Amino acid sequence: MTAVELDGIWKRFPGVIANAGASLTVAPGSVHAVLGENGAGKTTLMNVLAGVYRPDEGTVRLDGVEQSFSKPADAIAAGVGMVYQEFRLIPTFTVTENVALGSAPAVLSKSSMEKQVGELAERFGLHTEPGREVWQLSMGERQRVEILKALWRNAQVLILDEPTAVLTPNEAAELGRITATMAAEGRSIIFISHKLDEVKTFCDEATVLRGGKTVASSLSVDDLDAGRMAELMVGEATAVSQRRVRTTVVGERVLDVDNIIVHDIHGRAVVNDVSLVVGRGEIVGIAGVAGNGQRPLADAIAGLRQASTGTVSVTHTDITGMDARTRNSHGLAYVPEDRIGVGLAPRMNAIDNAIMRNYRTLGDGPLIDFGQAESRAASLIERYNIKVGRVDQPLAGLSGGNLQRLLVGRELDDEPVVLIAAQPTRGLDVQGVKAIQDILVEQASDGVGILLISEDLEELFALSDRLLVMHEGAVVGEFDPDTATRQEVGAAMAGAHASEGSAH
């Protein structure tokens, strides 16, 4: 008897195959981990189970009965609840109101509802105050409200999408107790995660996805160690990746980051005492599972986010106290992870976006010399082979590859000494990836020091001179891409503490 059985699930999106015959079997009363790298198809598969997507092929069975969900409400009615990473709560409603929203009895009695919600919470050890408004709650409490919402709808299968990403360690431990209680009642919990230690502590079995396929199903977590998990998640090093042939000698330090600590609004150190250096002409890769501090680190170096302590220097000039604009004028270029909305302004046209960094120098006095602006844009478009329909139309219609070439090209236009490239090839097609990687390699040959943050191990191995691994905000290992194996790096990414690389 199985609680959940997903079999041969295919789901295609324009240009992407998210699930290619993935399967998943979950026993009743168990906590089941679903593992995989970003883009492995975990979330799509869970959305199929939760009725958000209809699979192109394949079957969904609950308790052996085939299901055909056409909307999330169907899945909820069949007893599937999902807690998304981004909570779907109404901040000004109370816990009870959020829990009961959409499935409240016709006649409402506030006090009896609060009592019922309180009893339900207590039954599963979900500490909450039914009468409080959600905006007052911590992230952990909000997550418990989401779980309560699912339990209120009598979910027999509860999907938790990377539930610990927003939690403190104590809250995470409490979540583990809650899932255990639910499993003891015979419910099934699907726990999406990247982190080996919590998978081993909280889960009974694990299924690993890679490239939209199931590569290992229902493994006992006792058989799982960091090396095995990394191997399953990232795959064997099959094709030898094209290592970049370094043409320049790494020169003087161009970027010095010393003991940077960045706190989030809850006071957690999301970047925890990171130090690193990048030399002239060097590409330093940063590997890590999403959400382990790469983004705040990049933002802090670029001056978009305040570091609590630590210093940043570019060619021996301390730029710590400078704002983003001044840092840029000191030769620090930044290709942010969000190319649309941060790196580029989507509602402005190609000319405007091409001059966003240096419009202050175009034309004397208060007016912009738009003739000069146009020629700047034209030279970028030509040099980086950007296909724009019309330069005076909003960027919104351009493909990802063209947008990224525009962004990268603009950042390199003022001949920086350091380039921070965050996920520069994510979501691009094969040619787009190659075009960007070629630009990075060419720039390194010209002496630019590059900090390459990526979730694509292949890319990091191919391009980096040195490879750092971040886990939970800290640099936990440094590797030489020529000698390290992907398993070693993968294990460090998953938080295995006995990494073979020397701790930085």
Residues in contact with another protein by CB under 8 A are 13-16, 44, 47, 53-54, 302-304, 323-326, 328, 334, 336, 338, 340-348, 352, 356-357, 359-360, 363, 366-368, 370, 389-390, 393-394, 396-397
Q: How far is the CB of 254 from another protein (least distance, A)?
A: 21
301 CB-side CA count, 13 A:
34
CA gap 307, 429 in Å, rounded: 35
- Looking at the Cβ atoms of 47 and 207, the one nearer to another protein is 47
Q: Phi and psi of 31, rounded to 5°? A: -105, 120
- Looking at the Cβ atoms of 67 and 445, the one nearer to another protein is 67
Q: How far is the CB of 369 from another protein (least distance, A)?
A: 9
Tokens 């983003």, residue? 324
Contact (CB, 8 A) for 81 and 159:
yes
Q: How far is the CB of 374 from another protein (least distance, A)?
A: 13
- Looking at the Cβ atoms of 327 and 405, the one nearer to another protein is 327
Contact (CB, 8 A) for 288 and 471:
yes
- Looking at the Cβ atoms of 314 and 474, the one nearer to another protein is 314
For residue 13, list its beta bridge partners. Answer: 16
- Looking at the Cβ atoms of 2 and 329, the one nearer to another protein is 329
Q: How far is the CB of 343 from another protein (least distance, A)?
A: 7
CA gap 108, 102 in Å, rounded: 12
| Positions of E strands within 293-331 | 309-314, 317-318
The runs of H, that is alpha helices, within 384-429 are: 400-413
The runs of H, that is alpha helices, within 423-479 are: 430-445, 457-463
For residue 60, list its beta bridge partners. Answer: 6, 67
Amino acid at 429: D
- Helix H or strand E encompassing 259: strand 253-263
Q: How far is the CB of 266 from another protein (least distance, A)?
A: 18
Contact (CB, 8 A) for 200 and 494:
no
Q: Phi and psi of 127, rounded to 5°? A: -70, 120
CA gap 134, 235 in Å, rounded: 42
CA gap 245, 435 in Å, rounded: 17
Q: How far is the CB of 370 from another protein (least distance, A)?
A: 7
Q: How far is the CB of 453 from another protein (least distance, A)?
A: 16
353, 303, 296, 354: which is closest to 327 by C-alpha? 303
- Give residues with Cβ within 8 angstroms of 64, minimum separation 6: 1, 2, 5
Q: How far is the CB of 13 from another protein (least distance, A)?
A: 4
CA gap 333, 330 in Å, rounded: 9
459, 455, 463, 466: which is closest to 423 by C-alpha? 455
* Integer Rg of the chain from CA: 25
Q: How far is the CB of 355 from another protein (least distance, A)?
A: 8
For residue 206, list its beta bridge partners. Answer: 33, 219
- Looking at the Cβ atoms of 259 and 393, the one nearer to another protein is 393
Q: How far is the CB of 22 from another protein (least distance, A)?
A: 16
- Looking at the Cβ atoms of 66 and 338, the one nearer to another protein is 338
Task: Give the tokens for residue 338.
Answer: 């969000």
- Looking at the Cβ atoms of 224 and 433, the one nearer to another protein is 433
Backbone CA torsion sign across 369, 374, 375, 379: positive
CA gap 462, 455 in Å, rounded: 13
Q: How far is the CB of 287 from another protein (least distance, A)?
A: 24
Three-state DSSP class for 220? strand
Amino acid at 258: D
Q: How far is the CB of 393 from another protein (least distance, A)?
A: 5
- Helix H or strand E encompassing 329: helix 324-329
- Looking at the Cβ atoms of 37 and 337, the one nearer to another protein is 337
- Looking at the Cβ atoms of 194 and 327, the one nearer to another protein is 327
- Looking at the Cβ atoms of 31 and 333, the one nearer to another protein is 333
- Looking at the Cβ atoms of 334 and 461, the one nearer to another protein is 334
Q: How far is the CB of 324 from another protein (least distance, A)?
A: 4
Amino acid at 406: L
State the DSSP code for 361. G
- Looking at the Cβ atoms of 25 and 67, the one nearer to another protein is 67
